Amino acid sequence: MNVKSPKAYNNDTFMNSRNARTVRILCEYLEPEKRLQENGIINTIVFFGSARISHGGTAASHMHKYYDIAEELAFRLASWSKSMEKPEYTFNICTGGGPGIMEAANRGASRAGEKTIGYNISLPFEQYPNQYISPELNFEFHYFFMRKLWFLYHAKAIVVFPGGFGTLDEFFEVLTLKQTKKLEKSDMPILLCDEEFWKDVINFNKLVSCGLISPEDISLIKYFTTAEEGFLYLKSILVPMIREVQQIVRENDAASRT
């Protein structure tokens, strides 16, 4: 008697083949969606930044201040969210799930006693889940574009710390979507920590003078220096923005039913 062939979805050779790529992409949409819904995730604040900036400083010891700022800012935001009376206005801290700035933000939110999200990506180095991610919200992605989708799906603010190619990629992706009004929440704030650092790295004024971006495009971002400054700014705008986004969603849902 012949041995039964495995069902297609139990066939690892097939599931990891080029032919099943569409299935894998769908899995990276549907499985996170299910888990996020089960855990009541509605709104997030996303932290981007280098995986190489450590607590206390090592190789780039002059950069360790950013770890402290990220942790404290995440702690203050998570504590504020925890104190809100209306659940629809609460939010969770979300990161790329790895070490460095990502660890700092997850650590701050965890210290506040809140659930915190980590969207990891399979890489040959650097990327491993930090210990401060809530276990039920610890994700592992294969596809960068699916990870980016989930970064932005629930995001109500983006906070960017100094980082390398990955951070720049994430930052410019969000900046482009905001500039081209591809985001439903077109007023979503993008905060950059340390104006001096970013102006050394990216000469936005040069892009304006060359006519490559409009002068008003520079206003798409806001700088902050301390956790206190970043927190006070976000506290002043987040609830009204969340309320506005929820109204847009309700109107779109109503329109789709007519």
CATH number of the domain enclosing 97: 3.40.50.450
Residues 121 and 248 in one domain: yes
Alpha helices (H) in the chain, listed in sequence order: 12-15, 21-38, 64-82, 101-111, 144-153, 165-179, 195-201, 204-209, 227-257
Q: Supply 157's token pair.
A: 């603010």
In a domain, 11, yes or no: yes
So what's the pLDDT on residue 58? 54
Structurally, how many domains does the chain consist of? 2
Residues 235 and 127 in one domain: yes
Contact between residue 177 and residue 65 where contact means Cβ atoms under 8 Å apart: no
Residues 117 and 221 in one domain: yes
So what's the pLDDT on residue 127? 66
Residues 32 and 63 in one domain: no
Enter the DSSP assignment of 55: T
> Rounded CA gap, 160 and 3, in Å?
55
Indicate whether this model's pTM tops 0.95: no
Q: Characterize 88-102 residue by residue with b for buried, 16 or more Cβ atoms within 10 angstroms of its Cβ, and e for exposed.
A: ebbbbbbbbbbbbbb
Only one residue has tokens 């809530």, namely: 134
Q: Based on the number of CB atoms within 10 Å of its own CB, is 179 exposed (0-12), middle (13-18) or buried (19 or more)? A: middle
> Measuring CA to CA, how many Å separate 123 from each of 118, 120, 142, 240?
15, 9, 9, 38
In a domain, 1, yes or no: no
Residues 27 and 147 in one domain: no
Contact between residue 191 and residue 230 where contact means Cβ atoms under 8 Å apart: yes
In a domain, 80, yes or no: yes
Residues 218 and 231 in one domain: yes
Residues 121 and 103 in one domain: yes
Q: Supply 9's token pair.
A: 């979805």
Domain that holds residue 13: 6-38
So what's the pLDDT on residue 41? 95
Residues 11 and 102 in one domain: no
Residues 96 and 33 in one domain: no
Q: What are phi and psi of 245, to 5 degrees?
A: -65, -40
Of 190, 143, 146, 142, residue with least CA distance to 167: 190
Residues 97 and 148 in one domain: yes
So what's the pLDDT on residue 248? 72
So what's the pLDDT on residue 57? 55
Per-residue pLDDT of the chain (258 residues; tens, 9 = 90+): 678 888 888 888 988 899 999 999 999 999 999 999 999 999 999 999 999 998 875 545 678 999 999 999 999 999 999 998 888 889 999 999 999 999 999 999 999 999 999 999 988 776 689 999 999 999 999 999 999 999 999 999 999 999 999 999 999 999 999 999 988 776 899 999 999 999 999 999 999 999 999 999 999 999 999 999 999 999 999 988 888 777 777 777 777 776
In a domain, 86, yes or no: yes
> Rounded CA gap, 32 and 15, in Å?
18
> Rounded CA gap, 257 and 193, in Å?
43
Residues 118 and 191 in one domain: yes
In a domain, 116, yes or no: yes
Residues 52 and 175 in one domain: yes
Return the axis-axis angle of helices 165-179 and 144-153, rounded to nearest 10°. Answer: 50
> Rounded CA gap, 41 and 34, in Å?
10
> Rounded CA gap, 242 and 248, in Å?
10
